[in-house]
Chains A and B, each alone.
Chain A
Amino acid sequence: MDMTLPRRRFDTLIIGAGGAGLNAALQLADSGLRVAVVSKVFPTRSHTVAAQGGVNAALANVLPDSWHWHMYDTVKGSDFLGDQDAIEFMCREAIPTVYELEHAGVPFSRLDNGKIYQRAFGGQNQDFGGPQAARTCAAADRTGHAVLHALYQQNIRAKTHFFDEYFAIDLLRDEEGVALGALVLEIESGDTLVIEAKTTLIATGGCGQVFRTTSNARINTGDGMAMALRAGIPLQDMEFFQFHPTGIAGKGKLITEAVRGEGGYLINGNGERFMERYAPTARDLASRDLVARAIVTEINEGRGCGINKDYVLLRVDHLGEEIIAKRLPGIRESARIFAGLDPALEPIPVFPTAHYSMGGIPTDRFGRVVVPAGEGAEEVVPGLYAAGECACASVHGANRLGGNSLLDILVFGRAAGKDIIDYIKENPHHRPLSEPSLERAVAHLDRWDHQPEKKPAGKGKAKPAAESSVRELREEFRKVMEDHAGVFRTPKSMAEGVKQLKAIRRKLRGLRLKDQSRVFNIARIEALELENMVDVGMAIAVSALGRKESRGAHSREDFPVRDDRQWMKHSLYFREKDRLEYKPVRSKPLTVKGFPPAERVY
Chain B
Amino acid sequence: MLQQELPGSDERDRLRWQCRRGMLELDLLLEAFLEEDYPGLPDQEKEAFSRFLGLEDPQLHDWLMGGGSPDDPAFAALICKLQTSLHNNPRATSSDT
Chain B interface residue count, Cβ-Cβ cutoff 8 angstroms: 35
Given A333-B66, A340-B87, A520-B14, A215:B24 Cβ within 8 A? yes
CA distance A187 to B15 in the complex (A): 12
Q: Which of A149, A337, A514 contacts B65 (CB 8 A)?
A: A337
Given A333-B66, A520-B10, A522-B13, A251:B20 Cβ within 8 A? no
Q: Interface-forming stretch among B38-46, B69-77, B88-96? A: B88-96
Q: Decide: B96 and A165 in contact? CB cutoff 8 A.
A: no
Tell me how many residue pairs across A and B have CB atoms closer than 8 Å: 108
Q: Name the A residues within 8 Å of B47 (CB-CB).
A: none
Given A49-B58, A333-B66, A340-B86, A44:B22 Cβ within 8 A? yes
Most buried by B among A219, A249, A252, A522: A522
Chain A interface residue count, Cβ-Cβ cutoff 8 angstroms: 48
Q: Name the B residues within 8 Å of A50 (CB-CB).
A: 22-24, 57
Interface residue A155 (Cβ < 8 Å from any Cβ of B): no
CA distance A47 to B3 in the complex (A): 27
CA distance A338 to B57 in the complex (A): 18
Q: Decide: A45 and B17 in contact? CB cutoff 8 A.
A: no
Determine chain A's interface SS by DSSP, over half rule: loop
Q: Across the interface, name the chain A residue whose C-beta is closest to B57.
A: A49
Q: Decide: B22 and A475 in contact? CB cutoff 8 A.
A: no
CB-CB contacts of B1-33 with A at 8 A, as 1s and 0s?
Answer: 111010000100110110011111111110100
Q: Decide: A219 and B29 in contact? CB cutoff 8 A.
A: no
Q: Distance in Å from the Cβ of B36 to the closest Cβ of chain A?
A: 14
Q: Decide: A44 and B57 in contact? CB cutoff 8 A.
A: yes
Interface residue A363 (Cβ < 8 Å from any Cβ of B): no
Q: Decide: B3 and A467 in contact? CB cutoff 8 A.
A: yes
CB-CB contacts of A137-178 with B at 8 A, as 1s and 0s?
Answer: 000001001000100000000000000010000000000000
A38-75 at interface with B (beta carbon < 8 Å): 40-41, 44-50
Q: Name the B residues within 8 Å of A217 (CB-CB).
A: 20-24, 26-27
Q: Distance in Å from the Cβ of B21 to the closest Cβ of chain A?
A: 5
Q: Which of B17, B22, B83 contacts A165 (CB 8 A)?
A: B17
Most buried by A among B17, B20, B26, B95: B95
Q: Decide: B22 and A337 in contact? CB cutoff 8 A.
A: no
CA distance A110 to B36 in the complex (A): 44
Q: Name the A residues within 8 Å of B94 (CB-CB).
A: 250
Q: Name the B residues within 8 Å of A515 (CB-CB).
A: 3, 5
Interface residue A358 (Cβ < 8 Å from any Cβ of B): no
Q: Which of B1, B5, B10 contacts A519 (CB 8 A)?
A: B10
Interface residue A521 (Cβ < 8 Å from any Cβ of B): yes
Q: Name the A residues within 8 Å of B93 (CB-CB).
A: 250, 340
CB-CB contacts of A513-537 with B at 8 A, as 1s and 0s?
Answer: 0110001111101000000000000
Q: Name the A residues within 8 Å of B16 (CB-CB).
A: 522
CA distance A475 to B94 in the complex (A): 12
Q: Distance in Å from the Cβ of B51 to the closest Cβ of chain A?
A: 15
CA distance A41 to B64 in the complex (A): 21
Q: Distance in Å from the Cβ of B29 to the closest Cβ of chain A?
A: 7
Q: Decide: B22 and A252 in contact? CB cutoff 8 A.
A: no
CB-CB contacts of A525-551 with B at 8 A, as 1s and 0s?
Answer: 100000000000000000000000000
CA distance A44 to B97 in the complex (A): 23
Q: Decide: A45 and B20 in contact? CB cutoff 8 A.
A: yes
Q: Name the B residues within 8 Å of A520 (CB-CB).
A: 10, 13-14, 17
Q: Decide: B22 and A48 in contact? CB cutoff 8 A.
A: yes
Q: Across the interface, name the chain A residue whose C-beta is closest to B84.
A: A337
CA distance A168 to B23 in the complex (A): 21
CA distance A45 to B26 in the complex (A): 11
Q: Across the interface, name the chain A residue whose C-beta is closest to B87.
A: A340
CA distance A214 to B57 in the complex (A): 19
Q: Decide: B65 and A334 in contact? CB cutoff 8 A.
A: yes
Q: Name the A residues within 8 Å of B2 (CB-CB).
A: 467
CA distance A47 to B27 in the complex (A): 11
Q: Decide: A219 and B97 in contact? CB cutoff 8 A.
A: no
Q: Decide: A253 and B28 in contact? CB cutoff 8 A.
A: yes
Q: Decide: A253 and B20 in contact? CB cutoff 8 A.
A: no
Q: Across the interface, name the chain B residue whose C-beta is closest to A334.
A: B65
Q: Decide: A187 and B17 in contact? CB cutoff 8 A.
A: yes
Q: Across the interface, name the chain B residue whose C-beta is closest to A217.
A: B24
Q: Decide: A218 and B24 in contact? CB cutoff 8 A.
A: yes
A174-233 at interface with B (beta carbon < 8 Å): 187-188, 212, 214-219
Q: Name the A residues within 8 Å of B96 (CB-CB).
A: 250, 475
Q: Decide: B21 and A333 in contact? CB cutoff 8 A.
A: no
Q: Decide: A46 and B97 in contact? CB cutoff 8 A.
A: no
Query: Which residues in B have some Cβ–Cβ distance to A below 8 Å?
Result: 1-3, 5, 10, 13-14, 16-17, 20-29, 31, 56-58, 64-66, 83-84, 86-87, 93-97
* 5 other A-B residue contacts (CB within 8 Å) besides A44-B22, A334-B65, A337-B64: A40-B20, A145-B58, A253-B24, A310-B95, A515-B5
Query: What are the 8 tightest A-B residue pairs by CB atom distance, in nearest-first order?
Result: A49-B22, A250-B95, A340-B87, A520-B13, A467-B3, A218-B27, A333-B66, A50-B23
